[in-house]
């Protein structure tokens, strides 16, 4: 008998945890900052209503109706479409391989925060040397001789063990129970850090930088593309996660409200993260006399700026250590809540097709995933290969899959049937406007995003030096080709479980 969520609360916490991740902490704030500040919120909220919510309703509804993950979902449309489902669930596996290395830095920093509290090591006022020791240095993407980060490799074991231990227990016994703890804890901790960050001297400098609108940019098409890309990628759509989670929903679940709650909760976390990040950066800009750009727009925010900010909140090293531990534990929770959903997306797809136990499958994928993570735990892997793989998977694969998915499901299965299923037990009903969004409006916008990304990527390759170009081909396009190749192999294997 197919597992199901025990409660609506458990499902929502799991879905919100899947959508909310480490990327919210820096991707949204800096997307808004560089794309018009307060003016960015207009296209951002338009994208939520016209893209994220309709697609979330579609994935939940179709997953529940099919009672299967992405592979079964697309195979039921047309047998030859099964390949789309396999490519979809290859995305979270690849992402988990490098995502776990980012989470691992949080684990290392948590340990060092404990050491800081006990006076063993004083590092929080100057975290650069520690981060440098963890991530190391490499000359280029092929510089494997630069070595492994044993800090990172050891912490990756912890991350993959946590994923394995939770997902092997199933939906109701593992993911739901963990999400009921992790997601509320993450929300509470982030709200506390947001409130505290707003009280820092100079916080208004950061908030003005984030929210002051530059309406001259609002007519720039690239701003709208950036807004749709942000909303699309941050909600974990088109990679098999939400279809899998929807397949475990009970027959009488309120699909429409659940979709709105999931998307708006993720967006709320975006805004909370934006306020927290820029209030903290405003404090550091005011105190140190540096610019916002000096902290970068990625790991530098969480792993450089925040330890410094936390160290200035109190002169007591015990308090500094405790606050630091809580913050990086918060990042760890955000990472794990997302990564378990990624592992489950592939598990659901494979369990639908092959006769294999969940525990055995989870063990196999966890071992393969850890080996893949070991590649990113090299100095060249973390400093070069990670960015390449992330860029190609996010900009080309996910956007394309989203476009293909919405066209295939809305035009072949039919939005009318989906709408009837979604509305049946929902308090808030969606009307025919939803059909038009899925059939026409959303595909056009996603199509523009896909074409823009491809053209931009190809044009950039003409300006690359030979080493950079080769690394883009090998690790960027190479990863895409390997994902498609593995998907074809799984697709060609016969179904061992009958499709209902």
pLDDT digits (tens, 9 = 90+) for 23-65: 788 788 988 888 888 889 999 999 999 899 999 999 999 999 9
Least confident span in 20-29, 77-86, 345-354, 362-371: 20-29
HSE-up of residue 310 (Cα within 13 Å, Cβ side): 30
Predicted confidence at residue 287, as pLDDT, reads 87
pLDDT-derived band of residue 174, with 50, 70 and 90 as boundaries? Answer: very high
* pLDDT, averaged across the chain: 93
Q: For residues 366-388, give the mean pLDDT.
A: 96
pLDDT-derived band of residue 97, with 50, 70 and 90 as boundaries? Answer: very high
Q: If DSSP states are collapsed to H, E and C, what string results for the chain?
A: CCCCCCCHHHHHHHHHHHHCCHHHHHHHHHHHHHCCHHHHHHHHHHHHHHHHHHHHHHHHHHHHHHCCCHHHHHHHHCHHHHHHHHHHHHHHHHHHHHHHHHHHHHHHHHHHHHHHHCCCCCCCCCCHHHHHHHHCCCCCCCCHHHCECHHHHHHHHHHHHHHHHHHCCCHHHHHHHHHHHHHHHHHHHHHHHHHHHHCCCCHHHHHHHHHCCCHHHCCCHHHHHHHHHHHHHHCCCCCCHHHHHHHCCCCCCCHHHHHHHHHHHHHHHHHHHHHHHHHHHHHHHHHHCCCHHHHCCCHHHHHHHHHHHHHCCCCCHHHHHHHHHHHHHHHHHHHHHHHHHHHHHHHHHHHHHCCCCHHHHHHHHHHHHHHHHHHHCEHHHHHHHHHHHHHHHHHHHHHHHHHHHHHHHHHHHHHHHHHHHHHCCCCCCCCHHHHHHHHHHHHHHHHHHHHHHHHHHHHHHCCCCHHHHHHHHHHHHHHHHHHHHHHHHHHHCCCCCCCC
Least confident span in 160-169, 276-285, 473-482: 276-285
pLDDT above 80: residue 494? yes
Q: For residues 295-323, give the mean pLDDT.
A: 86
Q: Comparing 466 with 217, which gets the higher pLDDT?
A: 466
Predicted confidence at residue 120, as pLDDT, reads 96
Structural domain spans, the chain: 8-492
Of 157, 159, 134, 158, the closest CA to residue 379 belongs to 134
pLDDT digits (tens, 9 = 90+) for 398-419: 989 999 999 999 999 999 999 9
Q: For residues 78-82, give the mean pLDDT.
A: 95
pLDDT above 70: residue 297? no
pLDDT digits (tens, 9 = 90+) for 103-129: 999 999 999 999 999 999 999 999 999
pLDDT above 90: residue 288? no
pTM of the predicted model as reported, rounded to 2 decimal places: 0.94
Predicted confidence at residue 136, as pLDDT, reads 95
pLDDT above 90: residue 11? yes
pLDDT above 70: residue 500? no
Superfamily of domain 8-492: Amino acid/polyamine transporter I (1.20.1740.10)
Predicted confidence at residue 325, as pLDDT, reads 96
pLDDT above 90: residue 314? no
pLDDT-derived band of residue 19, with 50, 70 and 90 as boundaries? Answer: very high
């Amino acid at each position: 008998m197919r597992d199901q969520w025990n409660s609506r609360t458990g499902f929502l916490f799991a879905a919100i945890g899947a959508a909310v991740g480490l990327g919210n902490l820096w991707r949204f704030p800096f997307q808004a900052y560089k794309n018009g500040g307060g003016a960015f919120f207009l296209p951002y909220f338009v994208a939520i209503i016209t893209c994220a919510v309709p697609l979330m309703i579609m994935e939940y509804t179709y997953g529940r109706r099919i009672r299967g993950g992405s592979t079964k979902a697309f195979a039921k449309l047309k047998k030859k479409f099964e390949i789309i489902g396999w490519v979809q669930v290859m995305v979270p596996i690849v992402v988990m391989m490098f995502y776990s290395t980012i989470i691992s830095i949080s684990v290392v920093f948590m340990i060092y925060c404990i050491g800081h509290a006990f006076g063993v090591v004083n590092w929080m006022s100057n975290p650069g040397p520690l981060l440098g020791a963890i991530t190391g240095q490499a000359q280029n993407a092929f510089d494997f001789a630069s070595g492994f980060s044993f800090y990172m490799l050891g912490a990756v074991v912890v991350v993959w063990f946590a994923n394995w231990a939770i997902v092997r227990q199933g939906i109701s016994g593992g993911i739901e129970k963990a999400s009921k703890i992790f997601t509320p804890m993450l929300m509470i901790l982030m709200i506390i850090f947001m409130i505290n960050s707003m009280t820092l001297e100079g916080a208004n400098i950061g908030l003005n930088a984030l929210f002051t609108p530059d309406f001259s940019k609002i007519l720039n098409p690239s701003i709208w593309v950036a807004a749709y890309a942000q909303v699309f990628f941050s909600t974990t759509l088109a990679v098999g996660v939400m279809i899998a989670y929807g397949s475990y929903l009970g027959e009488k679940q309120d699909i429409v409200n659940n979709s709105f709650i999931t998307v708006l909760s993720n967006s709320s976390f975006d805004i909370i993260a934006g306020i927290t990040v820029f209030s903290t950066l405003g404090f550091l800009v005011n105190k140190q006399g540096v610019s916002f750009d000096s902290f970068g727009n990625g790991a530098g925010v969480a792993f450089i700026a925040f330890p410094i900010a936390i160290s200035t909140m109190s002169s007591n090293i015990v308090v500094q250590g405790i606050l630091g531990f809580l913050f990086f534990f918060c990042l760890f929770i955000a990472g794990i809540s997302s990564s378990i959903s990624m592992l489950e997306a592939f598990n659901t797809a494979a369990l639908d097709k092959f006769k294999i136990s969940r525990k055995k499958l989870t063990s196999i994928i966890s071992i393969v995933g850890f080996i893949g993570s070991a590649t990113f735990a090299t100095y060249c892997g973390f400093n070069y290969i990670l960015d390449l793989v992330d860029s190609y998977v996010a900009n080309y694969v996910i956007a394309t899959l989203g476009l293909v998915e919405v066209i295939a499901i809305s035009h072949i299965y039919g939005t009318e049937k989906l709408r009837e299923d979604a509305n049946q037990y929902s308090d808030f009903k969606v009307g025919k406007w939803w059909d038009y969004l899925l059939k026409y409006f959303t595909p056009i916008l996603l199509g523009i995003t896909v074409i823009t990304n491809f053209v931009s990527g190809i044009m950039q390759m003409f300006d690359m030096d030979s080493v950079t170009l080769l690394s883009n081909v090998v690790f960027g396009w190479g990863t895409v080709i390997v994902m498609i190749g593995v998907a074809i192999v799984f697709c060609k294997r016969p179904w061992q479980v009958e499709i209902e």
